[in-house]
A and B are shown apart, each in its own frame.
Chain A
Amino acid sequence: MKPAAFAYLAPSSVEEAVDRLAEHGPDARVLAGGQSLVRLMNTRLATPSVVVDVNRIPDLDHIGADNGTVHVGAIARQRSCELAPLVRSRVPLFAEACSQVAHVSVRKRGTVVGSVAFADPCAELPAALLALDGQVVARSRAGERVIDADDFFVGPFENSLAPDEFAVELRIPVTAVERTGSAFVEVSRRHGDLPMCGASTVVQLDEDGAVANARIALCGVGQRPMRARDTEDLLLGQRPADELLAQAAELTAAATDPIGDCHASAAFRRHLARVLTRRSLQTAVARARKEDTDA
Chain B
Amino acid sequence: MSTVEHEATTDVGPGSSGRRWIGTNVPRKEDPKLLTGRAGYIGDLTVPGMLHAAVLRSPHAHARIRAVDTSAARALPGVVAVLTGEEALHHVNPMTSFCAEPVPQHAIAVDRVRYPGEAVAAVAATDRYIAEDACALIEVDYEVLPPLVDPVEAMDPGAVKVHETLDSNVVFHRSIDFGEVEADFTRADHVIRRRARWHRMGAQPIETAGAICSYDPFTHDMTVWSNTNFYNFLPWSFAGMLGVANNRLRMIPCPVGGSFGSKHLINKVISIAGSLTKAAGCPVKFLEDRLDNIAANDNVGCDRSYDAELAVSDQGEFLSLRMKIVDDYGAYFQFAHGQHGNALAQPTGPYRIGSVGYDLSAVLTNKVQQGFFRGAGADPGNFILERLVDAAAEELGIDRVELRRRNFIQPDRFPFTVPTGNVYDSGNYEPVLDRALELAGLESWQAEKERMRQQGRYLGIGLATCQERTGYSASEWWILYDKPPLPATSTPESVKLDVDATGNVRVAIGCPLWGNSPETVVSQVVAEEFGIDPAAVSVGYADSTSGALSAGPGGSRVTIMLSGAARGAAGTIRAKMQRIAAHAMEIDVADVECVDGTFQAKGVPSTAMSMADVAMRAHLFMHDNPAGEASGLVETFTYDHPFSSPPTADRKDMGAFYPMVSHACHIPIVEVDPETGAVTVLKYYVVNDSGTLVNPALVEGQVVGGIVQGIGAALMEEYIYDADGALGTPSFREYLLPSMHEAPEVIVEHRETPSPFTEYGVKGVGEGGRLVAPTAIASAIDDALKPLGVWIDELPMTPERVVEAVASAADRMVTG
Please report A residues at the B interface, Cβ cutoff 8 Å: 1-5, 43-44, 187, 189-193, 196, 261-265, 268, 271-272, 275-276
A262 with B741, Cβ < 8 A, contacts A1-B289, A2-B132, A196-B799 known: no
Contact indicator B720/A187 (Cβ below 8 Å): no
In the bound complex, residues from chain B placing their C-beta under 8 Å from that of A191 are 739, 741-742
Could you tell me the dominant secondary structure of chain B's interface residues?
A: loop
Smallest Cβ-Cβ distance to B54: which chain A residue = A2
Give A191 to B678 CA distance when docked, in angstroms: 11
CB A275 to nearest CB in B, in angstroms, measures 5
B676 lies within 8 A of A190 (CB): no
Tell whether, in the assembled complex, residue B738 and residue A190 are in contact, meaning their CB atoms are under 8 Å apart. yes
**B394 contacts which chain A residues (CB < 8 A)?**
none
Given A187-B678, A192-B739, decide whether A5 and B133 contact each other with a Cβ distance below 8 A: yes
- 9-residue interface stretch from B102-110, B149-157, B233-241, B728-736: B728-736
- Contact between A189 and B803, CB atoms less than 8 A apart: no
> Closest residue of chain B to A265, judged by CB?
B800
User: In the complex, A48 Cα to B298 Cα: how many Å?
Assistant: 34
Distance A263 CA – B799 CA, assembled complex (angstroms):
9
- Least Cβ–Cβ distance between B720 and chain A, in angstroms: 5
Q: What 1/0 flags go to B609-623 for Cβ under 8 Å of A? A: 000000000000000
7 nearest A-B pairs in the assembled complex, by CB-CB distance: A191-B741, A1-B289, A262-B728, A268-B800, A2-B129, A187-B676, A275-B675
Assess whether A190 is in contact with B716, with CB atoms less than 8 Å apart. Answer: yes
Residues of B within 8 A of A187 (CB): 676-678, 799
Check B729–A275 contact: CB distance below 8 A.
no
- B583 within 8 A of partner (CB): no
Distance, CA A268 to CA B677, complexed state (A): 10
Which residues from chain A contact B720 at a C-beta distance below 8 Å? 262
Indicate whether A190 sits within 8 Å of B133 (C-beta atoms), given known contacts A1-B291, A262-B729: no
Of B129, B734, B736, B798, the contact of A5 (CB 8 Å cutoff): B129
Q: Hey, which chain B residues are within 8 Å of A43, CB to CB?
A: 291, 731
- Given A192-B741, A263-B734: A275 and B133 within 8 A (CB)? no
Jot down 28 A-B pairs with beta carbons below 8 A, ordered by A: A1-B289, A1-B290, A2-B128, A2-B129, A2-B132, A5-B129, A43-B731, A44-B132, A187-B676, A189-B798, A189-B799, A190-B736, A190-B738, A190-B739, A191-B739, A191-B741, A192-B741, A193-B736, A196-B799, A262-B728, A262-B729, A263-B798, A264-B799, A265-B800, A268-B803, A271-B803, A272-B676, A275-B675
Tell me if A189 and B716 are in contact (CB < 8 A).
yes
* B34 interfacial contact with A, CB 8 Å: no
- The chain A residue with its CB closest to the CB of B135 is A44
Query: What's the least CB distance linking B728 to chain A, in Å?
Result: 4
Task: Check B67 for interface membership: any CB of A closer than 8 A.
Answer: no
Q: Does B442 contact A (CB under 8 A)?
A: no
Alpha-carbon distance A2/B677, docked complex (angstroms): 37
Question: In the assembled complex, which residues on chain A have CB atoms less than 8 Å from the CB atom of B129?
Answer: 2-3, 5
Residue among A1, A5, A192, A196 facing the most chain B CB atoms (10 A cut-off): A1
Contact A4/B136 with A191-B742, A275-B676 known, Cβ cut-off 8 Å: yes
Q: A190-B716, A271-B803 are in contact. Are A44 and B136 (CB under 8 A)?
A: yes
Chain B residue at smallest Cβ distance from A3: B129
Query: Which has the most chain B C-beta neighbours within 10 Å: A4, A187, A196, A262?
Result: A262
* Smallest beta-carbon distance B209→chain A, Å: 15
Neighbouring B residues of A271 by C-beta, 8 Å: 803
Q: Which residues of B contact A193 (CB under 8 A)?
A: 736
Task: Supply 10 further A-B pairs (C-beta < 8 A) apart from A2-B128, A43-B731.
Answer: A3-B129, A4-B132, A4-B133, A5-B129, A44-B132, A190-B741, A190-B742, A191-B741, A261-B728, A263-B798
- In the complex, what distance in Å separates the CA atom of A89 from the CA atom of B567? 68
* Chain B positions 700-735 with a Cβ under 8 Å from a chain A Cβ: 716, 720, 728-729, 731, 734
A8: min CB distance to chain B, Å: 14
Instruction: Give A276 to B673 CA distance when docked, in angstroms.
Output: 12
Contacts of B742 in A (CB 8 A): 190-191
- Indicate which residue in A3, A192, A262 contacts B734 across the interface (CB closer than 8 Å): A262
What is the chain B residue whose CB lies nearest that of A276?
B676
A218 → chain B closest CB, angstroms: 14
